[in-house]
Amino acid sequence: MTNYLPVPKPVEASGSEPEIFHGKKILVIDDDKTICVLICEYLGKLGMDCLWTSVPRTAVEWIQEKEFDVILTDIYMPEISGHDILSLALAQLPHTPVILMTGNPSLHNTIEAIRLGAYDYLTKPFKMNVVEMTLGRALHYRKLVMENLAYQNHLEIQVQERTRELSDFLFHAVQSLSLALEARDPYTQGHGYRVGELVVKLAGELGVAEEEHQALRLASQLHDIGKIGIPDSILLKPGKLTTTEYDLMKDHVFIGYHILSPIPSLKEVSRYVYEHHERMDGKGYPRGLAGSDIHVNSRILMVSEVYDALATERTYKPAWPLRKIRDYFLEQAGTAYDPDVVNALLSLLDKEGEEILKLFQGGFS
């Protein structure tokens, strides 16, 4: 026996805004075809685009393939229940309200519908103006949800644009600061830039996520920023430093860390700066960290920084040839430097070592 009331003509006194229905897509599911036809006939007069089926499996396919503004489904149907349809719809179309309907109302059904996430619950036999009001509320809810999502997406795009602008500004400001620092010592001009180029190449060889490359490049630009606090008499000394002078020089990692760490966007960068003079065997400074206690990006930075120091002329040494550099890192792998990072460097040098060396010794100043 078909359980419905005759279809009345839609009336504006139903409490819904007529325009809320126009062009909206609804899926109606009921194993009683007559109910589907009557509901869609009524909703068509409201301007809705109504798709119906009395076969739940067809509804499952449509929910997986199409977009709907609202779904109206019976609970008790062969093979697939309305609760199954609800669960699928919530997974596939999380912003589409689902209204359950049944001719066997009970407190248990009502509670279960709410628990499963149904927007509302209709009891047969129902008046069409009640259906209209319920659908009007559901469509208004969806309208608010979609407007909120659009607003959030707009805000996210704005935040991304501002973040990108700030990141670019920060990078260029850092670059200027690094260049100002390097201007104190003609032998280290271009050092931060060269280390940045190599550190990104090594990160690529080691499979470091691209989103971390910018922080590594910034750390390369800033790893010696603490030398701002080191006297020229020590920083520019052509000969070997005394023990006291060397201890003062080591303070540059503390100074750099304290300059950078209060800046939230440079928190990770400050860690790499702080650790770039540690050693794998725990004999480095400032904390004597060893092995995996040193961040992998710090380990990449230390190899890149030392490579540049060896490959370029300094006040205390001439530039080293490529073979001597390779021999040094092979000897120090596992003691001073991470063997994986050293292997990545050697692989890179095998592929483009002479080109890198030429650029380091003349092209990046």
The domain that contains 268 carries what CATH number?
A: 1.10.3210.10
**Residue 8 pLDDT more than 70?**
no
How much is the pTM?
A: 0.56
Q: Are strands 49-53 and 70-74 parallel, antiparallel or unpaired?
A: unpaired
The pLDDT of residue 3 is 40
User: Which H or E run contains 150?
Assistant: helix 128-182
Confidence of residue 210 (pLDDT cuts 50, 70, 90): very high
Q: Are 181 and 227 in contact (CB under 8 A)?
A: yes
Question: Looking at 33, 227, 267, 358, which residue is catalytic?
Answer: 227
User: Is 171 a member of any domain?
Assistant: no
Type of residue found at 116:
L
Total tally of structural domains belonging to the chain: 2
State whether 136 and 247 are in the same domain. Answer: no
State whether 286 and 243 are in the same domain. Answer: yes
User: Is 1 a member of any domain?
Assistant: no
**Residue 336 pLDDT more than 60?**
yes
Domain limits at 97?
12-153
State whether 231 and 356 are in the same domain. Answer: yes
CA distance 2 to 5: 9
Confidence of residue 220 (pLDDT cuts 50, 70, 90): very high
Confidence of residue 189 (pLDDT cuts 50, 70, 90): confident
**Residue 240 pLDDT more than 80?**
yes
CA dihedral (37, 42, 47, 51) in degrees, to 10, reads -20
- Edge-to-edge strands of the sheet including 49-53? 49-53, 25-29, 70-74, 98-102, 120-123
The pLDDT of residue 174 is 66
Type of residue found at 162:
R
| Mean pLDDT, range 79-86, rounded to an integer | 92
Q: Are 310 and 325 in contact (CB under 8 A)?
A: yes
Give me the chain's average pLDDT, please: 86
Catalytic residue check, 240: no
DSSP state of 334: T
